[in-house]
């Protein structure tokens, strides 16, 4: 029963991130790109957060919350050893027995949570292009 509640709560959170990042009106004017979901946002209408002396802008409260939980994950380019499978969205090591899998561009990607999978599905290119090629050193 507890596992079912956790999956329902996870689904509802992912749905709120997905809908909040896809249902807004067209953006014009002073815009930036949300580092979490990759959507263009109007600075005056966005959710903002100051980190390390710089202000970042987000499409939704949930995107801002994801950034606040782990800002370095969205700001730093990471390379990982080939023997580790890392969730491309949040940077957590993935347990394959409990992972959420998604096939894109002929490759299978593994995620530690449903909300990370849903965030990835909104903009796969954003998360794939920010990662190093296999064999690169740690940065």
Please tell me whether the overall predicted TM-score, pTM, comes out greater than 0.85 for this model. Answer: no
Give the residue extent of every domain in the chain: 2-129
| CB distance 15 to 35 below 8 Å | no
Model confidence pLDDT, tens digit, residues 68-110: 888 887 787 555 444 467 888 887 788 877 888 888 777 888 8
Round to whole Å and give the CA distance between 108 and 110: 7
Whole-number Cα distances in Å, 118 to 13, 19, 42, 50, 63: 10, 11, 23, 25, 12
């Amino acid at each position: 029963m507890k596992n079912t509640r956790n999956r329902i709560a996870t689904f509802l959170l992912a749905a709120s991130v997905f809908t909040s990042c896809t249902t807004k009106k067209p953006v014009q004017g002073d815009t930036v790109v949300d580092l979490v979901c990759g959507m263009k946002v109007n600075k005056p209408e966005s959710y903002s957060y100051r980190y390390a002396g710089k202000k970042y802008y987000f499409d939704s409260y949930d995107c801002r919350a994801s950034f606040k939980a782990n800002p370095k994950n969205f700001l730093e380019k990471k390379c990982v050893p080939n023997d580790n499978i890392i969730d491309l969205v949040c940077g957590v090591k993935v347990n394959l027995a409990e992972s959420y899998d998604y096939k894109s561009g002929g490759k299978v990607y593994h995620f530690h949570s449903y909300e990370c999978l849903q965030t990835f599905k909104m903009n796969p290119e954003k998360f794939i292009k920010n990662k190093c090629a296999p064999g690169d050193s740690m940065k």
